[in-house]
A = this chain, B = another copy of it.
Amino acid sequence: MAQRMAGADRQRQILDAAVRVFARQGFHTCRVADIADEAGVAYGLVYHYFGSKEEILDRIFLERWNVMLEVIREIDAGDAPARAKLEAVAGFIVESYRHDPDVMKVIIVEVTRAANSFGRTHLEKIGEAYDLIAQIVARAQADGEFKDTVTPKFAAMAFYGAIEQVLTGWIFDLLPAGEAEYDRAKGLVVETVCGGLDATPASAGTV
């Protein structure tokens, strides 16, 4: 059935199939046989390339998360204002979702937000992202760009939580999704968390 193929390619093929299956059925609900079927490959071959079902999820998560950590580090290294940096971070996450919603769905639903049971393994890796965002906030507070009423870690959690919840809204059809919404969301998350929902004090003060 499956033609001979270089190892790396076959692995990729199984990984991609797993992403689709995990996104569709959920990690716990799906069987390894489903992944093999989706990939058009024999059951046993999955175990030729991966040690376990969990290892597949590991790989899916780590591959994408490491890219994100790298991107955030680069963004942080620049000298743009913090608000622009946060917008870049939000933008990257939204773009990730636009580019491959299934991968993001799996990461959010099965790893990031499943820190019990499975995700516990990756708690440290997940925390790295929060720390990087916290660092951006901390610097902005030191510069006076952000107020320091909130600890950087707290702000980072609120910021990341807001984004993840918006993605969750798209994933489960609780929020209108679509190209236009994705574009707008990048800015709006930052506008909300940085600018706040309040009508601006400035204009309130001028009344």
Contact = CB atoms under 8 A, between A and B. Distances in A.
Interface of A: 25-26, 28-29, 83, 105, 109-110, 113-117, 123, 126-127, 130, 137, 140, 144-147, 149-150, 153-155, 157-166, 168-169, 171-172, 174-176, 185, 188-189, 191-202, 205
A146 B194 contact: no
Contacts of A145: 198-199
Contact of A130 (B174, B196, B199): B174
Contact of A192 (B25, B123, B191, B193): B193
Given A195-B196, A196-B193, A163 B166 contact: no
A150 B197 contact: yes
A28 B110 CA distance: 12
A16 to B, nearest CB: 19
Nearest to A147: B199
